[in-house]
Amino acid sequence: MSKLCCNLFVLATVCFINLFSIVLPDRTAAENDSEEMYQIEETVVTSERMLNSLFESTAAVSVRTRAEMEFLPLKNLADALSTLPGISFLNRDGLGRDPLATLRGFYGGGEAEYLLVLIDGEPINELEKGLMNWNSVSLSNISSIEFLRGGASSLYGDSAIGGVVNVVTSDEHTSLSQISASGGGFGSLGAHARSSSLWNGRRFAAFGSAERHTGFREHADRAVENLGGYLTLLKTPNGSLTVSTTHHFQQFDEPGPLTGAELDSSRSQSTPFYKFDHTDDRTHRAAVKGNYNHHTMAKFSGIVTGEIRDTNAVRTLQLSPQFADTKNRLLKASRLTSSFQLTLEQFGLPFENRLSLGIDAGLHSLSSEYHLLLVGGLADYNAMNSATRGELDEKGDSTRRSAAGFLQYELRPIQTLRLILGVRADVIGDQFTPKPPSEGEEQSTVHSEISPKAGANYRYVKTERHIGNLYANVSKSFKAPTLDQLYDQRSIVFQIPPNPPFKVLLSSGDLQPQTGTSFEAGGYHRSVLYPDLLHGELSFAAYTMDMKNELDFDLQQLKYLNIGKSRHQGIETGLRFTMKSSLNLFFNYTHQSAKSRIGEYSGKFLKAIPRNVIAGGVSGAHQSGIGGSIVIKSANNIFLDDANTMTLPNYTTVDSRLKYQFGLVSATLDVFNIFNRSYSTTGYPDASGTGNTYFYPAAGRHALASLNLQL
């Protein structure tokens, strides 16, 4: 499969080079302009919460810009991230609209997240599980994406154990308005609009989008709406003050997994157990963000964010191929978070140095209740065409209070060497109060963690044709148990005659944070291979992280537990070539090895995590207005069980985009899974011991066309 992937990539590259060869310039073009142009280094904020050159980062960071995404076949933010090294996505709906992230050997299985996602610096992971709703960010509203890989608790605290994504939506220098409409296979329809400009001298932007999909599988309808905007209230040479708001509405059905026999019968079916599974989610968020620069010596920034969310979800737990439990959850979540940071330049030493100090705080509240809906076998589900919410089964309120202080010191003892020392202290207090009819006593717990980091970046070359940096870091990261892992009142009733029925809760109030110590080394190198014609860029990273008290769901006990230790190791590489900014080639290879280090399965690979991931592509634009791309992705060596006896078949997909720009109007045609491969991206064995395996099948070939007008 890997050989096929490489052959397809080479073939696509040759075709694109031939197609766009006319745009290549005269070989006698002047060198100076090219060298100066290409040696401009991108600046990033996410890696160290301070503006810094990408190449001088002490961690693995990748950037994807709006211009780069313009020619790639993408459905959502997850698709854009999957073209970068170090991350891949599994999906449960078959179309990639319900993706699950895997990175550095971490995979939450849809019940937890190991990736912290920010929108312009605001955390947006869901409160109860920490999951990311990938449909809440419209591609048309993205200016750039910064992706920091590896543990980042020294700056971001809890959940930043696998990586951090920061989506930048604001563009202070661009005024534009655009509208687009799209349609395609499996009932896909969409409309997007965005406008940004100046209003009475103040920068503003507004956006809105709506999408509908009937889905590849039965019972997989999805409807998503997003709207929002921002307004700069104050803008001076020394600072600014901005308010923003976003609103997200989503309704979707869940088709559930299929056994191998069901998969052979029909890949698009949904079993009767999941016929009532449906989620209605509404999220409203507002933020105030400001910054102030006192000359060039001190910079202050702060953000305060408020969020409320209402969710009405019907969800089934399939306990065996012949038995399931379906309940209706009503959830209300709210949070108020704040973050303030002070950065001091040239802090008391004769050489370059910076000191950054900050505090983060949050107040989170969650109210949850479960209602009975249906429990039984296939005959019971087949007999019902509709389901009405039943009596209240469980109810409770939980809160989380968090506070943290962090500092990071940067110094340059010599011009080519940059050193970073940082530490963060987190305190997280959780409390749960059961409400009738739930029984039990009030629970509370307090967790505190110290997360240090030390890093170095050395520039080994800087000439007119080459820029190269090496870096290394050591850090400690942690992930606190989520509120659902601690206090979720979803229960399952068992009866083993002649004993009376007994109830099992999935949550566990005595969970401890999982912690990890990581070592990482890597580098960046950029070259002008041929002046004004061909440029190349290489990034690479190698890491190892030892985890303790790993949080996981025990299928045998049907309970969240701290189940042991693991070691996560891997290599991430990214290679990119650019020809006169008109033809771009990229190739990423990710190897991740995550193994248990305790118990019966010590030395075995953790389940559901692809050990090898390849992503490559070629994109280009012709002066006539024609452009496009071909993108190839491959994942292999995925075990589905703890004993490593079952594997998921390897899979490779090929997607493409064709774009034509004529004046202010552009038209695109995306074709996904061009070769109509039948595959599944994830699965799991039946916990009841029947020997069955469940799979989530992916869609075959399908297309999506769109028309865009830019004003």
Q: What is the pLDDT at residue 687?
A: 81
Asked if pLDDT for residue 513 goes beyond 60, the answer is: yes
Tens of pLDDT, residues 628-637? 999 999 999 9
Tens of pLDDT, residues 423-480? 999 999 999 999 999 988 999 999 999 999 999 999 999 998 999 999 999 999 999 9
- Percent of the chain whose predicted confidence (pLDDT) is above 90: 71
Q: To which H or E segment does residue 630 belong? A: strand 626-636
Query: What are the Cα distances from residue 485, in Å, to 112, 113, 168?
Result: 9, 12, 31
DSSP conformational letter for 32 = H
Q: What is the pLDDT at residue 40?
A: 59
DSSP conformational letter for 465 = S
Q: To which H or E segment does residue 88 belong? A: strand 88-91
DSSP conformational letter for 22 = G
List helix spans (H) across 20-175: 31-38, 66-69, 77-81, 153-156
Asked if pLDDT for residue 26 goes beyond 60, the answer is: no
Non-local CB neighbours of 474 within 8 Å, separated by 6+ positions:
453, 454, 455, 517, 518, 519, 520
pLDDT interval class at 181 (50, 70, 90) = very high
Asked if pLDDT for residue 39 goes beyond 60, the answer is: no
Q: What is the pLDDT at residue 89?
A: 94
Q: What is the pLDDT at residue 495?
A: 63
pLDDT interval class at 334 (50, 70, 90) = very high
Tens of pLDDT, residues 411-427? 999 999 999 999 999 99
Tens of pLDDT, residues 654-690? 999 999 999 899 999 999 999 999 999 999 998 888 8
Query: What are the Cα distances from residue 51, in Å, to 44, 47, 173, 196, 356?
Result: 6, 9, 18, 24, 11
Tens of pLDDT, residues 191-204? 999 988 887 778 88
Q: Tell me the three-class secondary structure of 305-331, residue by residue.
A: EEEEEEEEEEEEEEEECCEEEEEEEEE
Q: What is the pLDDT at residue 46?
A: 83
Q: pTM to 2 decimals?
A: 0.91
d(CA 79, CA 73): 8
Tens of pLDDT, residues 352-374? 899 999 999 999 999 999 999 99
pLDDT interval class at 259 (50, 70, 90) = very high
pLDDT interval class at 405 (50, 70, 90) = very high
pLDDT interval class at 6 (50, 70, 90) = very low
Q: Tell me the three-class secondary structure of 584-611, residue by residue.
A: EEEEEEEEEEEEECCCCCCCCECCCCCC
Q: What is the pLDDT at residue 491?
A: 87
DSSP conformational letter for 41 = P
Q: Kindly state the average pLDDT of the residues 338-347.
A: 90
Of residues 158 and 610, the one with the higher pLDDT is 610
Asked if pLDDT for residue 184 goes beyond 60, the answer is: yes
- Asked whether the bond before 437 is cis by omega within 30 degrees of 0, the reply is yes
